[in-house]
Structure 1
Amino acid sequence: MQGTNDGAALALAVLVVGLVVRQQLRTRPVRRIGSLVTPAVLGVLGVAGIALGVASVVRDHRLATLPVVLLVASLAVAAGFGVARARTIRVWRGPEGEVLRKGSAATTGLWVASVGVHLGLGLWIDDAAGAGVLGAVSLYAYLAIGLGMQNLLVRGRAATL
């Protein structure tokens, strides 16, 4: 039954990432609050996931320092990718004075690279922990930090227009 749960979790993660990337490629207004709603929801899911991941590790082992350091490094990498992606998003004033945004092919490429890096770090975290799924379940926190950083920077650029 665990394999079924893993498959469902993977399918949900792919769906969430796909929806986030799809949104990036659409022309849409830069909103004052709206751009932080998705990262906030992902952040709540991320905190819950990390708590469950820690519980899965400490159930069988003591949580060592290396997986924690790798997790923190992973979240810092997420912020770095958010900064890089923000630079690939076009921000302009529309015909009615509204501020618009739209990601590019480079934005998509950075999303794909970001998720790939997280998957690699997640495997390393889980290997270093020796048990549990801390690396795998930190995806939502990773997305929240990366998307939140990206959206804050895009909002900052929009404010200067």
Structure 2
Amino acid sequence: MTSVLLYAAIAALVLYKLVYQQVRGTLLDRRTLVAMPLLLTAVGGYLTLKALPGASAAELGLLAADLLVLAGLGVLRSATTTLTERDGTTFQRGSAVTIGLWLLTVAVRIGVAAPAAAIGAAGPLTSASIALTLGVSIAVQNATTYRRIQRRGLPLADRRPALSR
């Protein structure tokens, strides 16, 4: 029951904070590119480390594959957003494809449970690593976005400027 609540809380956070904001568009600054993936990766890393002692080789392999697939989806999600200059920083807006890739990201992460059970790798590591895998996926997306910002010469504020509506 606890892992279901954890999945639901993380999914709600991801859906609001990232997906909704990316679709409606958001001003980017260094803090917005770093804070969420850092928090998820730190919490997920801690929970994953706690679950490692009892993990099987199959669980470790599944975690590695999950990290690689979700990192790849992070690169793809970044590529589907448009970046423009607004209010002295970069404005990012996602597309319908971005939404589809977020749905695929969540489906892949939740879908890990079925093959994990089939190969006998549905131990505590599988559920403990959700924050880590999503944190890594978002970190890769944001690092790719940062690289795109740098290549295009767009500004990136140190602090989020006040929105003018």
Q: TM-score, normalised by structure 2?
A: 0.80
Q: Distance in 1 between matches of 2:71 and 2:122?
A: 27
- The match for 2:24 is 26
Aligned pair in 2 of structure 1 residues 64, 133: CA closer, same or farther (>3 Å)? closer
Structure 1: which 5+ runs fail to align?
A: none
SS in structure 2 at match of 1:91: strand
Partner of residue 67, structure 1: 59
Moved more, 108-117 or 18-27: 18-27
d(CA) in 1 for partners of 2:117, 2:48: 12
SS in 2 for 1:25: helix
What is the root-mean-square deviation of aligned Cα atoms in Å?
Answer: 2.0
Structure-2 residue corresponding to 1:13: 10
Does structure 1 residue 112 correspond to structure 2 residue 103?
yes
Provide the rounded CA distance (Å) in 2 between the counterparts of 1:110 and 1:147. Answer: 12
Cα distance 1:40–1:154, how it changes in 2: closer, same or farther (>3 A)? same
Task: For 1:44 and 1:97, locate their aligned partners in 2 and report how far apart those are by CA, in whole Å.
Answer: 30
8 A Cα contact 1:123 1:135, kept in partner: no
After superposition, the Cα gap between the structure-2 partners of 1:83 and 1:51, relative to the gap in structure 1 and judged at 3 Å, is same
Farther off after superposition, 97-106 or 67-76: 97-106
- Counterpart residue type for residue 134 of structure 1: L
Report the equivalent of 1:46. 44
**Residue in structure 2 matched with residue 150 of structure 1 by the alignment:** 141
Q: 1:87 aligns with which of 75, 79, 83?
A: 79
Q: Which runs of 5+ in 2 are unaligned?
A: 154-165
SS at match of 2:123: coil
Structure 2 CA distance, aligned partners of 1:14 and 1:38?
13
Letter in 2 for 1:84: L
| Other-structure match for 1:138 | 129
Residue-pair matches, total = 151
Normalising by structure 1, report the TM-score: 0.82
* Cross-structure match for 1:76: 68
Q: Which moved more, 1:67-76 or 1:127-136?
A: 127-136
Taking the aligned partners of 2:21 and 2:117, their CA distance within structure 1 comes to 30
Q: 1:36 and 1:122, CA in 2 relative to 1: closer, same or farther beyond 3 A?
A: farther
